[in-house]
Amino acid sequence: MNVLIVYGSETGNTESLAESMGERIRAAGHSVKVLNAADAVAEGLCSGYDAVLFGCSAWGTDEVELQSDFNTLFEEFDSIDVKGKKAACFASGDSSFEHFCGAVDVIGEKLTALGAVIMEDGLRVEGDYSGNKEDVDAWTDRIIAAL
């Protein structure tokens, strides 16, 4: 399968999740591209991929604000060509905030509205990959099984 992982990350936490997932999915025999949202173009983003994973941290206080690079991409999400494709969301966050990993909900709702096939409930991680290897690897394995 051809898998795309797009992430928006300010301090590297969500990036560490994306990279670890990419390595694990690759090790399972799939082709994976890991793409920083800062380098992504919305138009046709998902074209040619069988599955897409979106990762993004949140930066609001009263309401969820998507990480800025991802937010720029999100403004053009209607053109990403995700209809009928398998998709899932993940995020790094801080559970002391009201909307822990709130980007998972915001992006997931949009993907559903765009007709994506949600493969798995969104993954919410406190901090980076290093302290959450078991949870992240288990979630990634469920994604691999659903490819």
Ligand X SMILES: Cc1cc2nc3c(=O)[nH]c(=O)nc-3n(C[C@H](O)[C@H](O)[C@H](O)COP(=O)(O)O)c2cc1C
Residues that bind ligand X (CB under 6 A): 9-15, 57-61, 64, 67, 92-94, 97, 99-102, 127
- Kindly state the DSSP code that residue 62 receives in the 8-state scheme: S
* Shortest distance, position 145 Cβ to ligand X, whole Å: 26
Q: Hey, is 52 helix, strand or coil?
A: strand
Are 126 and 132 contacting, i.e. CB atoms less than 8 angstroms apart?
A: yes
Instruction: Give the nearer residue to ligand X in terms of CB position, either 25 or 66.
Output: 66
* Shortest distance, position 70 Cβ to ligand X, whole Å: 9
Q: C-alpha angle 86/91/95, rounded to 5°? A: 140
* Shortest distance, position 115 Cβ to ligand X, whole Å: 27
Instruction: Give the nearer residue to ligand X in terms of CB position, either 66 or 114.
Output: 66
Instruction: Give the nearer residue to ligand X in terms of CB position, either 20 or 92.
Output: 92
* Shortest distance, position 118 Cβ to ligand X, whole Å: 20
Q: d(Cα 14, Cα 55) in Å, to the nearest integer?
A: 6
Instruction: Give the nearer residue to ligand X in terms of CB position, either 48 or 60.
Output: 60
Instruction: Give the nearer residue to ligand X in terms of CB position, either 24 or 128.
Output: 128
Which of 48, 43, 11, 44 has the alpha carbon at shortest distance from 33? 48
* Shortest distance, position 90 Cβ to ligand X, whole Å: 10
Q: Return the axis-axis angle of helices 13-27 and 133-146, rounded to nearest 10°.
A: 50
The residue with its CB nearest to ligand X is 93
**CA separation (Å) from 83 to 28, 77, 113, 115, 116?**
25, 11, 9, 4, 5
